[in-house]
Each structure stands twice: as structure tokens, then as C-alpha cells.
Amino acid sequence: MKETVRVASGQGFWGDLLSAPIDQVRRGPIDYLMLDYLAEVTMSIMQKQRSRNSEAGFARDYIALMEEILPDCVEKDIKVLSNAGGVNVEGCAEVVADTARKLGIKGEKIGVITGDDILPRLEEFLDKGIAIDNMDTGESLSGILDKVQAANVYLGAGPLVEALGEGARIVVGGRLTDTGLTLAPLMHEFGWTFEDWDLIAAGTIAGHIIECGAQCSGGNCQYDWKNIPEMEDVGFPIIEAKADGTFEVTKHEGTGGRVNVQSVKEQLLYEMGDPHQYITPDVIADFTTIHLEDKGKDRVGVHGIKGNPNTDFYKVSIAYSAGFKAVGTLVYSYPEAYDKAKAADRILRARLENLGLEFDTVLTEFVGVNATHGHLAGEPSKDIPEVQMRIGVRGSDREAVSRFTKEIAPLILTGPPAVTGFAGGRPKVEEIMAYFPALIPKDLIETKVEIIET
């Protein structure tokens, strides 16, 4: 058994720094690379892509990345875990296998995890009388069933551990939890099982700390932000874990950014609910038991973590079509910039009303005045140099939203003076994918782990 296992974070979301996972592989020692590609909105985008092209529906960035780093990973014995498979995990795995073969990499195993996609089974569940209700509102799924675009269960570390046990170099799945991607390597290496709740909680919290990439190593860090060095070369975080569940958070030597107690605390609290009950498919972790310790430059020790047995339910994220929206902006300059922007808003709203357009919501914000802190920011100074009027509408009638997008540009010649900032053309009408979070009994879900060889 390894004494220390190093798990590195390579992507905090789909669209994160492309160079980060390459740096993690090349600029210092790691054993595992975890890559998170899926936000809630991603699954519905991928379902749409796949409905147009049966070979699409996964994160293409991941393929380009694997082509770049696979030779290094084989040479250095690094394993790569990700949820890049989206809604076409098998397709994704086949493309990765082909990519490996083209690189001359033979005999490597790829673990393929499926079973998270329950879109084809929703009707069957409802027919069987299984309640799938919105966790926030209590609303039943049957009310929106015809609008559903994607439905995926959040799977935990279990199938990842199984794939690693079968010798996989690469493991790819769909809606795997971010935390499971970090926990699984530790369970595999140290032989932790779903009875060692404190250890499972420790691995889960390690995952929470690194799942947003550099957000724990200097990015978006309020504490002393001005003095965090070399953010242009920010090092992504690495967990160095021991079999007893203690671990250290660090990053490669020579990279920018900063890992300290404050940067880790900020990330621990990110998107936190009840800290006593951080619920994942693997465990209920207790954040009030975490102890942090300064271990020197760019190194924080974590110990003391406690956890409780996991629940009998998976969380399922269901995306459904919920109308349309559009947002338009114009910029007004000194003098009386804010007054001009407010006048433009009044004129525009009156025109929308005269046209008889109806929306569920119309929201105007004045960027430079109140877009982030609302009334807490107070009144702006009289000589504010410029204000951006930002107006958005939302509704079920696509035509009404589309008509709104044609009313912004006319304000340039038919509204208050000293206006600019319309280089981008008419705003786009966006279809809204809303989320319906629910719970589903674990015993209804069949996960499958397959191994393919390169």
C-alpha cells in the first residue's frame, strides 16, 4: 500500500483553464487526476447535441486533453477519473480508446460507468407508483414530464472503485459526483469500505476542497487577494492523503496562487447548506468536525473529520424546458448617466406595454449602481462616468421574448442621449432549462461498470 496518495484536480467546471490538467500531470508528482466537466445545465445541452448526432453528447475538450496527456499518464502511472461522458459515456470511452490506439498505447484499460441516465425510465417509475417529487417545492414530476430534456442520478464512488479494482487507467462516467472522483482513489488505495464512515467523510471533504479547481488555491479568494502571487500561473490543488483519513492540501512547487488556511476555509464554505449534514451518495459528512492546520508554505493539514452512514436515496437532477428569456444592455455616459439609464428603462417598458407584450418577469439592473449589491450600495455619485442599463425578460411565449430583443437597439436613436455599447447586435432568445431536484430509492438504479482495452 502507498503511504501517501496524491489526487490532483484538473478542471473545476467545463470551460476551466485548459492548461491546468496538463500542468498537474507534468509539473510534479501525482497519482490520480480528477476532472469535473458537468454542471447541471451541461446535461441538457448534451442531450440536445446527441439528439442531433448520435455520436455526440460528451465533453469534447476531454478527448483533446487525453490525446495530450495520455502518454505522460502511462509513463508516470497516473490514473484519470472524470465525468466527461455526459449523456454518451460509451461513445466517449470508444473515442478515448481510439485516441489511445492512435498514440500507440496498447493494453490499457478504460472503465466505463453507466446507469446514471434515467431519462428513458421516468415513465416506468411513475407507472409503478414511485413518487418523484421536487425536493424544494413538493411538486410532482408528472406535471412536467412532457417537457423533460434530461434526467440523471448523481452516482457516488462505488462504481469508480470497482473500475479501479479491475485495473482501469482511465475511468469515465456521466453524472458522477465531483466528490466521488476524489474519494474513489483513496478507497481503492487504502481499502476503505462503506462502513468506515469517518474515512469516507474525510475523502469526500477532500473532494469538496479540490472540486472547484483553483478556487481553493488562490482563485476567487477574498482573503488578502491583492498579495496572492502569480495568478497568471495559478497552481491547481492537490490532496496528499494517508490511510488514516488525514490529508494535506497543496499544489505543485513553482506554480502561482496560494494554499493557506484561509483559502481552504473559503472553499469549504462554498455552496454549503447545513454543515452537520453534507449529503452525498457515499456518506453524510459533518463539516463541524473539520480541523485545519498551517503546515508551511502552500500546505494545509486537515484532520478530525467525522461522518455518518449514507442514505437509501440518490439525488436525481431533472432538466426541463421552462420558457424563454433574453437580456439586453445599453451604456449611458456622463452627465446624468444614471438618470438617462433610468429614463431609457421607463421608455422601453412603456413600449413593451403598448405592444401588449406579456412576460412572467421583467428585471432591470443598472450596472455600476446596483447590479450586485442592490440598495445596499446606496445612491451613486452625481458625476458617475457611465451606467449600463441591463434589462431582461422571461416568459413562456417565444414570440414575445423575440419581439423584446428588437426593442433595445431603437433606443439609441429614440431615447436619451450619449448612449453606446450595442456592438453585439440584438440579444439572443434563450430557451430556459429549469431544474427539478428529486430523490429516488437507490435500489431502483442499476449501475454498470464495463472495461474496454486499448
Partner 1 sequence: MRVELLKLAHARSGDKGDTANVGLIALKEEFYPIIAREVTSDRVKEHFGPIVKGEVERFELPNLGALNFLLHGSLGGGGTLSLMTDAQGKTFSTALLRMKIEITEEEAKSLED
**Does 372 help bind partner 1 (rule: CB under 8 A)?**
yes
**Does 48 help bind partner 1 (rule: CB under 8 A)?**
no
| Contacting residue, 275, 303, 351, 412, with partner 1 by CB under 8 A | 275
**Does 446 help bind partner 1 (rule: CB under 8 A)?**
no
Stretch that binds partner 1, among 73-81, 149-157, 282-290, 330-338 (CB under 8 A): 282-290
Residue 344 · residue 395 · CB < 8 Å: no
What minimum distance in Å lies between the beta carbon of 18 and partner 1?
A: 22
48 three-class SS: helix
| Contacting residue, 434, 439, 451, 452, with partner 1 by CB under 8 A | 434
Q: Which of 326, 361, 292, 348 is nearest to 432 (CA)?
A: 326
Stretch that binds partner 1, among 1-9, 262-270, 336-344, 409-417 (CB under 8 A): 262-270
**Does 374 help bind partner 1 (rule: CB under 8 A)?**
yes
177 three-class SS: coil
Hunting for cell 495568478 — which residue is that?
A: 231
Maximum Cα interatomic distance, the chain, rounded to a whole number of Å: 74
453 three-class SS: strand
| Contacting residue, 40, 61, 67, 450, with partner 1 by CB under 8 A | 40
- How many Å apart are CA 288 and CA 101, to the nearest integer? 48
**Does 294 help bind partner 1 (rule: CB under 8 A)?**
no
**Does 365 help bind partner 1 (rule: CB under 8 A)?**
yes
Give the ranges where 247-392 is alpha helix by DSSP (H). 261-268, 337-354
**Does 139 help bind partner 1 (rule: CB under 8 A)?**
no
113 three-class SS: strand
Stretch that binds partner 1, among 98-106, 252-260, 286-294, 441-449 (CB under 8 A): 286-294
| Contacting residue, 376, 413, 425, 446, with partner 1 by CB under 8 A | 376
DSSP state of 443: G
Hunting for cell 474513489 — which residue is that?
A: 184
- How many Å apart are CA 108 and CA 317, to the nearest integer? 33
Give me the residues that bind partner 1 (CB under 8 A), please: 40-41, 136, 220, 222-223, 262, 265-276, 287-292, 304, 322, 325, 327, 361, 363, 365, 367, 371-376, 390, 392-394, 432-435, 437
